Amino acid sequence: MKFRPLHDRVVVKRLEGEEKTKGGIIIPDTAKEKPQEGEVVAVGPGSRDDSGKLNALDVKAGDRVLFGKWSGTEVKIDGQDLLIMKESDIMGIVG
């Protein structure tokens, strides 16, 4: 990837939602909600505290994470739809 996030920012690729309900009904694209789960693609070096010490991030590339419904900024990099968000917008790591 030709993009490196700064400070405590994280680049996340959304994981696709289910195509069918548990009952077998196919959900059209227009009715699907955007998934709130994704895979971390890249992370920044971390943020600095008041004394200038670098605090590393808790997430790393490859982690599956959950984030808020309206978290992040949607961007297109190298033809991929990605989200850029602060680490604080991530609720947790799955698995």
Tell whether domain 9-18+34-94 is in CATH 2.30.33.40. yes
**Greatest C-alpha distance within the chain:** 56
Beta bridge partners of 90: 67
For 45-85, write each residue's pLDDT tens digit. Answer: 999 989 989 999 999 999 999 998 889 999 998 889 999 99
**19 or 72, greater pLDDT:** 72
pLDDT at 12: 95
Beta bridge partners of 9: 86
Q: Which two tokens stand for residue 16?
A: 């696709």
CB 16 within 8 A of CB 37: no
Nearest one of 26, 12, 23 to 59, comparing CA atoms: 12
